[in-house]
Structure 1
Amino acid sequence: MKPIRFLGDALKCLRDFPEDARHDAGFQLDKVQRGQQPDDFKPMPSIGRGVEELRIWDESGTYRVVYTARLADAVYVLHAFQKKTQATSKRDIDLAAARFNELMRGLK
């Protein structure tokens, strides 16, 4: 099982999710750590190669956890946020992309 590493304030943001959404996110991330497919996700090539987004639906709103599991050493959570519009905001995409780019630079 791969360890999970949170970049920036991703863990704090995830902890701010409502309890049910937080539990669902944790369950889905556990599946990713075990090399399994999460229940609801989509690729996010606009952020980086191998980056995916967990989609969490809760009665209080829609939540996203952006991560990459393609690296051998860990699952990296780049960003976690509540989605408030149909399209993911530029701010959320830019933040996740900056963390992904920083991660990739650090591995070289």
Structure 2
Amino acid sequence: MVRRADEPRPLIWRGASKTDFMAFPPTVQREMGYVLFLAQMGERHSSTAKTLGGFGGATVIEVRESYDGNAYRAVYTVRYADAVYVLHAFQKKSKKGIATPKAEIDLIEKRLKDLIKEKEGRQ
């Protein structure tokens, strides 16, 4: 099936990312949902979506939202043209500055490696 250029790419949730995302406050879901929609259309929201360092290039993106004194994150990859893959969604609880906690980075890394293994195994 051929996708038209003006149609959004599918959004595919990895692991528990959708369940975690759905636990966010509705305002956060709405704001992040718009950013994810832009990604599906091949665009990037300039103020809330930033490249997540340490993943070799600009294919892993972190969406940042704050609400009611809390920080929320969703991480997706556009590494593959067939879809936007949401790797992780979490409430950031680190009290050590702005760094993403290591446990969250490790989970993102694992889900990305699993995705790469799946995609390259099919080709």
TM-score bracket for this pair, using the shorter chain length: over 0.9
Tell me which moved more, 59-68 or 1-10: 59-68
What CA distance in whole angstroms lies between the structure 1 residues aligned with 2:111 and 2:78?
14
Match of residue 80 from structure 2: 71
Give 4+ residue runs of structure 1 displaced > 2 Å after superposition.
none
Deviation of 1:42 after TM superposition, in Å, equals: 1.6
Q: Which amino acid aligns with 2:89?
A: A
- Aligned residues of 1:44 and 1:52 also touching (Cα < 8 A): yes
User: Counterpart of 2:112 in 1: which secondary structure?
Assistant: helix
Deviation of 1:75 after TM superposition, in Å, equals: 0.1
Match of residue 3 from structure 1: 10
Match of residue 17 from structure 1: 24
Greater RCO (CA < 8 Å, at least 6 residues apart): 1
Normalised by the length of structure 2, the TM-score is 0.82
Normalised by the length of structure 1, the TM-score is 0.92
Q: Does 1:81 align with 2:90?
A: yes
Q: Which of 92, 97, 102 is residue 90 of structure 1 equivalent to?
A: 102
Give percent identity, aligned residues only: 37
Deviation of 1:36 after TM superposition, in Å, equals: 1.3
Compared CA separation, residues 64 and 43, structure 1 to 2 (3 A): same
Tell me which moved more, 7-16 or 40-49: 40-49
> How many residue pairs are counted as aligned between the two chains?
108
Q: Which amino acid aligns with 1:37?
A: R
After superposition, the CA RMSD in angstroms is 1.3
What CA distance in whole angstroms lies between the structure 1 residues aligned with 2:34 and 2:83?
16
- Aligned residues of 1:64 and 1:81 also touching (Cα < 8 A): yes
Q: Does 1:35 align with 2:42?
A: yes
> What residue ranges of structure 1 are gaps of 5+ in the alignment?
none
Deviation of 1:60 after TM superposition, in Å, equals: 4.3
> What residue ranges of structure 2 are gaps of 5+ in the alignment?
1-7
Match of residue 52 from structure 2: 44
